[in-house]
Every structure is written in structure tokens, then in C-alpha cells.
Amino acid sequence: MVGASRRCGRGRPRSKEKWFASFRTLATIQNALYTGQSNTTHTRRRGFGRSAGPAVTGQAAAGLLSRALSPVADVRQHHAPHATVVVPMSMPVINIDASFCQFLSISALDSVWSKYLKSMRKIVSVLFVILVTAFGAPSCVITAWLLCCATAAAQPAAGPEPILRVTLEPKRVVVGQPVTLRIELMAPNYFTAPPEFPDIQVRNAVSRPLGNINLSEQKDGATYAGIRHEIAIHPQEAGRYAIAPDSIAFTYAAEPPAGRQGKVTLPALAFEAFIPAAAQSLDPFIAANGLAVRQAVDPPSGDRKVGDAVTRTITIEVQGLPAMVLPPPSFPAADGLAVYPDQPTLQDHTDQRSGVLTGTRVDRASYILQKPGDYALPAIEIAWWNLAEQKVERVRVDAVTLHVLANPTLPGSAQGGRSVAMSWRAWVSTILAHWPWIVLVAAILAGLGWIAPRAAAYGKRWHAGRQAAYLQSEAWSFARFRQIARRGDARATYFALEGWLARFGPVAPGHTIAALGAAVQDPMLDRELALIEARLFSADADTGVWSPASLLRRVTMARRRLRGRDARSRRRMPSLAATLNPGASGAALRALRPVAR
């Protein structure tokens, strides 16, 4: 540690020089900790100065810090004019390893805690100056301890990880009773987006989500935000059920406000469902804490006549089960009654205080009275297993009796109750009321009957003409040549080539293979043509082997080139009006009056 200069004849250093010496020492240590370098400090007779020196290593920084923490540091100045000699007398009481200073110089500079570390070092630096000024060198021990605590606290630790808790209770239930799957997902800080919980579906079981509950808890000094997701699974048959593993994707604020993607996997779970021995005969099997059934008939009573409608409503309420697991009641039909069931109404209600689930199923059926007489709608009985009493109980609604009278206002009802039908007078009145539409529809049908055969014959003739024209075209001949050439038959390929050339305009008037070669001027094409002719007409066996693919490729290129050349020549050909009027301009030709017909 660089001490302050002493005056001659005095035993204590001046406070100002002591303050500057402490500040200079702190600057040297801080420079070594941050940059790995320091400047050699000298004291002059009338002030302080510094000159650039070599880089301070970790051992040198440790020495500086050790001397700064020494209770006594006597630096004597030799009074030589314009010369300064520093003689340190170190009495270290704290040994600081060089690796510690090197650790301080590089730790946390590339992490998210580096800003916090730098701020703490600045605060400790100010405390160092204040304590040295007020109390002297021994207070540096406290400052060094604060520096170590700030540095240790600033080191980044492994962040907390998400937590997944999964429970399935109970493991063994009666058929129809719920098994609760509880999933608790906890994430550090908070979720930046709702987790994507899987849709749990189990075969031969009804899955019903119970909702989500927000959670919050502290663990190991970290704050966790969580969501509890519950699903009720109602098995419909006895046996063992397995829940396959699935994953949950979520995003949470690991380092707020930045988010991090997370994914956890649900473990494989299983449970068992059974039917009590005393209830094995129940079909369908219903297990509940309570079950009630009611019925309503509309109209409830009175005279009923043929043509009237009667509605029967059956309401089933069950405790502890959702409505979807209740079986539908039976509405049998009878001779003289037509039955038309409606869609059932299902409703679930959970009491907020007790948490008891009540399922309600409402079924309706309309009966159309078609014949007079006495009818009985059968009684409905439901057997169920009482979970509280552990026994089979039965609920029942009585049969409904219907007395149907004849309806004199309806035709045919008085003669044996025949089915209601529309008479011929009703048909006539309907036709007379809508005769314009009937006439229009009849006219349209007649027109279609007259036009359809003629349109079909015309379409057939048009298609045949198009087909005949295509068979006489150059395009069909070339397509046939390509098809035959791919087979590899030299003789058939040669004659197909001649047939195509007979319809290919750019080689007119010769329409021969020689005319094709003269028009294209392609040595490769001439070579392929010579090879196929030698194959067919030469007796020499060493004429070479012709290649159908090479011949087809060269002929295709020649066709494309000649057709393009022919199209360009036609565009450059002058019109008939320009030939007859060579001195007229284009504008004058366009202004000519059309010839009267």
C-alpha cells in the first residue's frame, strides 16, 4: 500500500495526503480487478503522479490488496531533489490468493449478473473511501469483506426448473364413478402463455374436464406460479384402463420479461373399474348416490281424438354422475300410434358449496293418434346401484292410458278408423291453386324432351368431326411417330417418319427425308437418318447401330426449329392490300373503306 509522505519532525501523516493515498490504492486495485492491469504509483515531494507500468498479474493484484488491508504500512520518502523512492513495509494480516483476484477480474462479465456486479463494486468503492477517510486502514478489512460478499452474491446460480406433479385417484372404482386425474404444472416466476394441456381420452370411458385452478408457492427462495388441471374419467365397463404418456408445452418467464419454452411429459398411469357382485345382473349398470325419475304428459287429460298429439316427457336426475352416462328410456310404438322421439337434453350442475355433481337427462316423445281405441304407454323402470347403501334399488314411473275417440271432422274416421288421407277433391283444389307453376314446369320438361336428343346428336357429330380432323393432322402423325420410335422397331419407325413428313408443311414440296435434312442442315440428324437407312437397306453389317432415342431427339429438335422458322416467315409476309397498293402507308390501308357485300 502506498503510504502518505511524512513531514520532517512529525509523527503523523496529514489527513489530506492519507485520503489521497487510500483513493490511489483503491484505484490501482480496482483497475487490476477489472482490466488485469495497473499503473505504478509514485509519490512526489509536493504531490502525486503516476507513470505507465507493466500489466499487473493476479499475484500483483493480491499483493496490492494485501497491503491495502494491512493495519500498518510505513512508506518512507527520501528527500532527494526531483527523485522519489518508495520503500514499502508490508505487514499483511489477510492472505489473498492470486486466483481470487483473477476470478474477480473475469467473473460474471458475460452473464446477466454483470451489471449487478459492477454496481456493487462501485458501491463498495465509495464505502472504502469513506471508511478509510473516517477510521483509517483497519476499516479496509470490513470493506474487503463487503466486496467478497457482493461478488459471491453476484455469481449466477442455476435457475429453478419447472415442476410437474401428477396424481390419479382412486386407483380402483366402481364402473361409472369418476377417477380424478390431477395435473399440477409449476413454473418459476410466471407463465407468459397458457399451457397446452392434452386432451385425455380413454377407450370405453367418458372424460370430463373439471377446470383449472391458479396456484402460487415458494420453494428454495424462488416464486413459482402454477396451474392445476383436473379431469374426471368415468369408466363405462369393468376392466383395467391405461392412460398413455403425453406432453405439455408451455412458455414461462425464466428471466423476466424474456420467455423460455418448456416441455414436460406425463407419466403412464392406470386404474381399474369393477362391478360389485350383487349388481352383476343390472343391465345397464348405473352406480350413484341418488337417482330419481319423473314423467309428464301433455295434455295431461281430457278427450283425445284421432289426429291429436300427446307428448310424454321423462326426466332422470342422478347424483355423482354426468348426464351423458345415463341410458335413454324406451318409447315403444303401437298399432294406431306413431311415435316421434325428440333429441334428449343433457345438463350437468355442480353445487358450489358441497361440490356434488348432479346430472339431468330429459327425453321427450310425441305420439300421433291415428286410430280410435284404448292405448297404454308402458311403465318405465330403472334399476341402479346405491353406493351409500351398497344395494340395488329401483325407481319407476307408471304407465299412461290413452282413450282415443273418432274425429268426425276427418274423412274416413267414422268408417273403421281408416288412416287419414287426402281426397281427390283436395288434389283438384291444389292443382287449381298452383296451375301457373304446374304449366310452367310442364313446358320446361317438354322443351327439354325435344331439345335433348337433338343436342346429343349434334354433340356426337361435332366430336366425330374433331376426331377425324385430328387423325389427319400433322400433330397426330408426329405423335404416332414418337410412339413407334420408342418401341425400337427400325422398319416401322422409318415408315412412320415418312408418314409424318408427308403432312409436315415446312419440308414442302418434297415431303421426304432428304428434304428434311436439306431444310435443317444438322449433321447429327443426317448421321441418325443415315444409320437407320443403312440398317434397313444396306447389306454391310458394319454400318453402325442406330439409336431410337437419338433419332427421336434430333427429329424433335428439327421439327421445333422448322416450325419456328415457318412462323417467323409468315409474320414477315406482306398482306394482300399492301401487295396491290405498294405506295400506300399502313395508316392509309387501315383507313380503306370495307368492300360492300
Q: pLDDT, tens digit, for every residue of 56-66?
A: 444 444 444 44
Whether residue 371 is predicted with pLDDT greater than 70 in this model: the reply is: yes
Are residues 23 and 134 both part of a single domain? yes
**pLDDT per residue over 537-564, tens digit each?**
876 655 667 888 988 999 999 999 888 8
The confidence score (pLDDT) of residue 305 equals 85
pLDDT for the residue 533: 85
Better-scored residue on pLDDT, 499 or 105? 499
Average pLDDT over residues 345-352: 87
Q: How many CA atoms lie within 13 A of 37 on its CB side?
A: 7
pLDDT value at 447 more than 80: yes
Residue 305, in any domain of the structure: yes
Backbone torsions φ then ψ of 588, nearest 5 degrees: -65, -35
What is the maximum span of the chain, computed from C-alpha positions, in angstroms? 150
pLDDT digit string (tens) for 288-317? 989 999 999 988 877 788 888 889 999 999
Examine the domain organization and report whether 120 and 33 are in the same domain: yes
**Pairing of the two strands 290-298 and 191-196:** unpaired
Whether the pLDDT of residue 461 is over 70: the answer is: yes
Q: Please indicate, yes or no, whether residues 555 and 480 belong to a single structural domain of this protein.
A: yes
> In the predicted model, is pLDDT for residue 144 greater than 80?
no
Q: Are 150 and 117 in contact (CB under 8 A)?
A: yes
Q: What is the pLDDT of residue 395?
A: 92
Which of 132, 154, 176 is a domain's end point? 154
Residue 576 has what pLDDT?
A: 52
Q: Looking at the domain assignment, is residue 544 inside a domain? A: yes
Give me the amino acid identity at 364.
R
Question: Into how many domains does the chain fold?
Answer: 4
pLDDT of residue 131: 64
- Mean pLDDT, rounded, for 266-288: 91
Nearest CA-CA partner of 69 in 19, 1, 151: 1
Q: Which of 347, 289, 292 is nearest to 316 (CA)?
A: 292
Phi, psi of 430, rounded to the nearest 5 degrees: -65, -40
What pLDDT does 585 receive? 52
For the segment 213-241, the average pLDDT, to the nearest whole number, is 91
| Most confident residue range from 129-138, 152-161, 366-375 | 366-375
Three-state SS annotation for 58-101: HHHHHHHHHHHCCCCECCECCCECCECCCECCECCCCCCCHHHH
Please name every residue paired with 48 in a beta bridge, in sequence order, or none if there are none.
Answer: 43
Q: What is the mean pLDDT of residues 280-286?
A: 88
- The verdict on 224 and 340 lying in the same domain is no
Among 131, 154, 177, which residue terminates a domain? Answer: 154
Give the pLDDT band (50/70/90) at residue 577: low
pLDDT of residue 429: 73
Percent residues over pLDDT 70 in the chain: 66
Give the pLDDT of residue 34.
44
Residue 494 has pLDDT above 80, yes or no: yes
Please check whether residues 149 and 23 belong to one and the same domain.
Answer: yes
- Evaluate whether residue 184 is within a structural domain: yes
Q: Is residue 68 a contact partner of residue 159, using CB atoms and an 8 Å limit?
A: no
Reported as a pLDDT band with limits 50, 70 and 90, residue 583 is: low
Indicate the pLDDT class of residue 75, thresholds 50, 70 and 90: very low
DSSP-derived secondary structure letter, 321: S
> How many Å apart are CA 333 and CA 72, to the nearest integer?
113
Three-point CA angle 398, 402, 405, nearest 5°: 170
CA-based nearest residue to 322, from 230, 235, 228, 213: 235
Cα distances (angstroms) measured from residue 40 to each of 31, 55, 60, 65, 303: 11, 10, 11, 14, 121
Which of these ranges, 98-112, 116-130, 175-189, 277-291, has the smallest mean pLDDT?
98-112
Mean pLDDT for 377-392 is 90
219 or 130, which is more confident? Answer: 219
Residues 6+ apart with CB under 8 A from 322: 206, 208, 232, 234, 346, 348, 357, 359
In a domain, 360, yes or no: yes
Poorest-pLDDT segment among 127-131, 181-185, 271-275: 127-131
427 part of a folded domain: no
Label residues 205-242 b or e (16+ Cβ within 10 Å = b): bbbbebeeeeeeeeeeeeebbbbbbbbbbbbbeeeebe
- For position 74, what pLDDT does the model report? 39
For residues 448-459, give the mean pLDDT: 92
Answer whether residue 101 shows pLDDT above 60. Answer: no
Residue 3 lies inside a defined structural domain of this protein: no
Distances (CA, A) of 241 to 104, 169, 205, 269, 270: 59, 13, 9, 9, 6
If asked whether residues 138 and 175 sit together in one domain, one would say no
| Whole-number pLDDT of residue 225 | 92
Distance CA 545, CA 533 (A): 11
Output the pLDDT for position 357: 87
Decide if pLDDT at 451 tops 90.
Answer: yes
Amino acid 291 reads: L
CB atoms within 10 A of CB 5: 20
Q: Are 24 and 150 in the same domain? A: yes
Answer whether residue 581 is part of any domain.
no
Q: Considering the domain boundaries, does residue 289 fall inside one?
A: no
Average pLDDT over residues 417-427: 53
Residue 241 and residue 131 share a domain: no
136 and 227 in a single domain? The answer is no
CA distance 210 to 336: 47
**369 and 253 part of one domain:** no
Does the pLDDT at position 272 exceed 90? Answer: yes
Nearest to 578 by CA among 567, 592, 593: 592
Three cell numbers written together for 562: 422448322
481-493 mean pLDDT:
89
Residue 422 has pLDDT above 70, yes or no: no
Least confident of 85-94, 310-319, 391-400: 85-94
What pLDDT score does 404 carry?
Answer: 87
The mean predicted confidence, pLDDT, of the chain is 74
Strand, coil or helix: 392: strand
Give the per-residue pLDDT at 331.
87
The pLDDT assigned to 330 comes to 86
- Same domain for 177 and 131: no
Report the percentage of the chain scoring pLDDT > 90: 23
Paired with 72 in beta bridges are: none
Q: Give the number of other CB atoms < 10 A from CB of residue 453.
A: 9
Same domain for 316 and 193?
Answer: no
Q: Beta strand pairing status for 309-319 and 290-298?
A: antiparallel
Mean pLDDT confidence for 481-507:
88
Structural domain including 346 reads: 294-379+395-405
Amino acid at 346: L
